C-alpha cells in the first residue's frame, strides 16, 4: 500500500474509532435518560428533572467516582466535540417546539402585558441585587479574580430563568395555553434575553474590552431580529404552511426541510448577535404559535426524538463539568446552603409580589413565582463562562449547579400543589 493509501486507511480507522466511542456514549446517555425520566415521574416530578439529575450523576460526581476507569473509557476515549454539537442542536430544536406550544394571544390583553413587564423586571432586579451582595461577600474566599467580577457573574446566575426546562415542565403539566403559563414563559423569555445581554456586558467588563457603542449595537440587532422575524419571516412561513397544509399529524418532507433550514438560520443569526443560538429557534416557534396543525405534525415527527435523544445529551455534557465531591468541608456545604436559600428566596419573592401587583390571586402568583425560579441548566451557560474566565472557582461552580437543580426540583411539586386552587387541571 502506498503512503496516500496508508494515510487514508489510518484516517478511516480513526473516524470509525471515534464513531464507536461516540455511539457508546450515546447508548449509555439515552438509556440512562429513560431510566431517570421514568423514576422522576414515579416520584411525581417532571421527567426533565430526572434527566437532569441522571446527567449530573453520569459525570465525575458519581460515575467518575465509583468507576473511574469505566468513566474514562466511556467519556474520554473520544473528543468532546460530537457531544457538544449534538447537545446544542437538541436545545435549538426544543426551543422551536416550546415556542410553538404557547398561545401568546393572551398577551393581547393589556393586563397580561403589564403582568409580563412587572414579573420580568422584578425577577431580574431583585435576584441580581441579592446575587451581587452575596457574591461580593463570598468572592474573596471563592475565586482568585476581583470581587466585583465574581459578584457580577453570581448576580447574573441568580437572575436567569431556565426557558427550556420551564417549557418542558409546563408542556408536561399542560400549562402552555393557560394565562398563567403564557405570563410565566413570556416573562422568562424577556428575563433571559436581558440576562444574556447582561452576560455579554459583564463578560466585556471582565476582560476590560467594554465599549458602550458596541453594546448598544447588540441591543439594536436583537430588536431588529425580532421585528424582521415578526414582520417579514412570519408571513412567508405562514404562506408556505398554508400551501403545504399539514394535517392529522403529518407534514410534507419539503415543509419539514424548509422549517429546519429556517430554524438553523435563525439560530446562526442570534449566535452572531451574541444572545445564544437557542433564541433563534425559540423566535421561529413563537412567530408560528397559532399554527396548531403544524404543532401536531411537529410533535408526531420530531417531538419525541428531541426529548428522548437530544436533551439527555445536553444534561450529560453539563454533568461532565460538575464535581459535587469537590465540596469536602462543612464550610463548603454551609456556603452552598446560603447560595441555594438566597437565590430561591429572592426569585420567589420577586415573582410573587410582581404577580400580585398585576392582579393575579395568591395561587396564580405562587405558580408564577415558582416557574420563574426554575433555573435548570441554562444557568450553567452563565457560570461556565465565569469558570472559563477564572472569576468563578470550581467549588463555586458546583454550588451554583446544586442551586440550579434545587430550584428546578421544587417547581413541579409546587405547581401540582397550587394547580387545583386555580381551577386548572394538571396532567397526570
All cell numbers assigned to 389: 474566565
For residues 332-357, average pLDDT: 93
- The dihedrals phi and psi of 357, each to the nearest 5 degrees, come to -65, -25
Kindly give the interhelix angle for 81-101 and 3-42, rounded to the nearest 10 degrees: 40
For residues 218-240, average pLDDT: 88
| pLDDT over 50 (residue 222) | yes
| pLDDT over 70 (residue 130) | yes
CA distance 290 to 273: 27
Place of cell 398561545: 103
Average per-residue pLDDT in the chain?
A: 82
Reported as a single tens digit per residue, the pLDDT across 192-215 is 777 766 776 777 666 655 566 766
Residue 143: the pLDDT is 47
Higher pLDDT, 394 or 133: 133
If residue 375 lies in a helix (H) or strand (E), which one and from where to where? Answer: none
- The dihedrals phi and psi of 124, each to the nearest 5 degrees, come to -95, -50
Integer CA distances (angstroms), 225 to 267, 374, 427, in order? 11, 27, 35
Integer CA distances (angstroms), 205 to 160, 210, 302, 348, in order? 19, 5, 41, 29
Higher pLDDT, 162 or 38: 38
* CB-CB neighbours of 296 under 10 Å: 18
CA distance 396 to 402: 10
Residue 428: the pLDDT is 47
| pLDDT over 50 (residue 164) | yes
Confidence of residue 45 (pLDDT cuts 50, 70, 90): confident
Residue 286: the pLDDT is 84
Percent of the chain exceeding pLDDT 70 equals 87
The model's pTM? 0.75
Q: Are 280 and 271 in contact (CB under 8 A)?
A: yes
CA distance 122 to 116: 10
Residue 353: the pLDDT is 94
If residue 117 lies in a helix (H) or strand (E), which one and from where to where? Answer: helix 110-142
If residue 392 lies in a helix (H) or strand (E), which one and from where to where? Answer: none
CA distance 19 to 8: 16
- The dihedrals phi and psi of 279, each to the nearest 5 degrees, come to -75, -25
For residues 312-330, average pLDDT: 81
CA distance 425 to 195: 32
How many residues are present in the chain? 428
Q: Of 344, 363, 349, whose CA–CA distance to 416 is shortest?
A: 363
* CB-CB neighbours of 44 under 10 Å: 11
Q: Are 359 and 97 in contact (CB under 8 A)?
A: no
All cell numbers assigned to 364: 396564580
Range list of H helices, 143-289: 147-159, 163-172, 179-206, 212-228, 234-244, 253-273, 278-286
Place of cell 445581554: 197
Amino acid at each position: 500500500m502506498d503512503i496516500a493509501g496508508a494515510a487514508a486507511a489510518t484516517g478511516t480507522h480513526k473516524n470509525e474509532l471515534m464513531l464507536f466511542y461516540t455511539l457508546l456514549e450515546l447508548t449509555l446517555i439515552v438509556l440512562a435518560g429513560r431510566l431517570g425520566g421514568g423514576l422522576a415521574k414515579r416520584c411525581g416530578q417532571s421527567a426533565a428533572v430526572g434527566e437532569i439529575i441522571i446527567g449530573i450523576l453520569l459525570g465525575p460526581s458519581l460515575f467518575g467516582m465509583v468507576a473511574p476507569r469505566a468513566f474514562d473509557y466511556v467519556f474520554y476515549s473520544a473528543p468532546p466535540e460530537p457531544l457538544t454539537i449534538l447537545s446544542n442542536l437538541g436545545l435549538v430544536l426544543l426551543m422551536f417546539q416550546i415556542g410553538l406550544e404557547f398561545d401568546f394571544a393572551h398577551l393581547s390583553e393589556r393586563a397580561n402585558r403589564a403582568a409580563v413587564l412587572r414579573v420580568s423586571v422584578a425577577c431580574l432586579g431583585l435576584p441580581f441585587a441579592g446575587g451581587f451582595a452575596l457574591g461580593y461577600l463570598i468572592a474573596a474566599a471563592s475565586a482568585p479574580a476581583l470581587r466585583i467580577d465574581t459578584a457580577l457573574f453570581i448576580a447574573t446566575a441568580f437572575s436567569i430563568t431556565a426557558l427550556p426546562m420551564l417549557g418542558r415542565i409546563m408542556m408536561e403539566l399542560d400549562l402552555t395555553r393557560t394565562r398563567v403559563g403564557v405570563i410565566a414563559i413570556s416573562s422568562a423569555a424577556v428575563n433571559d434575553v436581558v440576562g444574556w445581554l447582561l452576560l455579554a456586558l459583564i463578560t466585556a467588563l471582565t476582560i476590560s474590552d467594554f465599549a458602550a457603542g458596541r453594546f448598544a449595537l447588540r441591543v439594536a440587532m436583537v430588536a431588529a431580529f425580532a421585528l424582521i422575524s415578526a414582520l417579514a419571516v412570519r408571513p412567508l412561513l405562514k404562506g408556505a404552511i398554508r400551501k403545504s397544509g399539514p394535517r392529522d399529524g403529518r407534514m410534507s418532507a419539503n415543509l419539514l426541510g424548509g422549517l429546519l433550514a429556517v430554524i438553523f438560520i435563525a439560530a446562526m443569526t442570534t449566535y452572531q448577535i451574541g444572545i445564544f443560538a437557542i433564541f433563534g429557534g425559540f423566535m421561529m416557534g413563537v412567530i408560528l404559535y397559532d399554527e396548531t396543525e403544524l404543532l401536531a405534525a411537529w410533535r408526531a415527527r420530531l417531538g419525541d426524538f428531541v426529548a428522548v435523544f437530544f436533551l439527555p445529551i445536553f444534561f450529560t455534557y453539563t454533568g461532565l463539568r460538575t464535581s459535587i465531591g469537590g465540596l469536602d468541608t462543612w464550610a463548603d456545604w454551609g456556603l452552598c446552603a446560603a447560595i441555594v436559600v438566597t437565590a430561591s428566596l429572592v426569585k420567589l419573592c420577586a415573582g410573587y409580589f410582581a404577580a400580585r401587583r398585576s392582579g393575579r390571586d395568591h395561587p396564580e402568583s405562587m405558580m408564577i413565582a415558582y416557574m420563574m425560579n426554575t433555573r435548570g441548566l441554562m444557568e450553567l451557560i452563565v457560570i461556565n463562562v465565569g469558570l472559563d474566565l477564572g472569576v468563578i472557582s470550581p467549588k463555586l461552580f458546583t454550588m451554583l449547579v446544586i442551586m440550579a437543580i434545587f430550584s428546578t426540583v421544587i417547581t413541579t411539586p409546587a405547581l401540582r400543589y397550587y394547580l387545583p386552587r386555580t381551577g386548572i387541571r394538571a396532567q397526570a
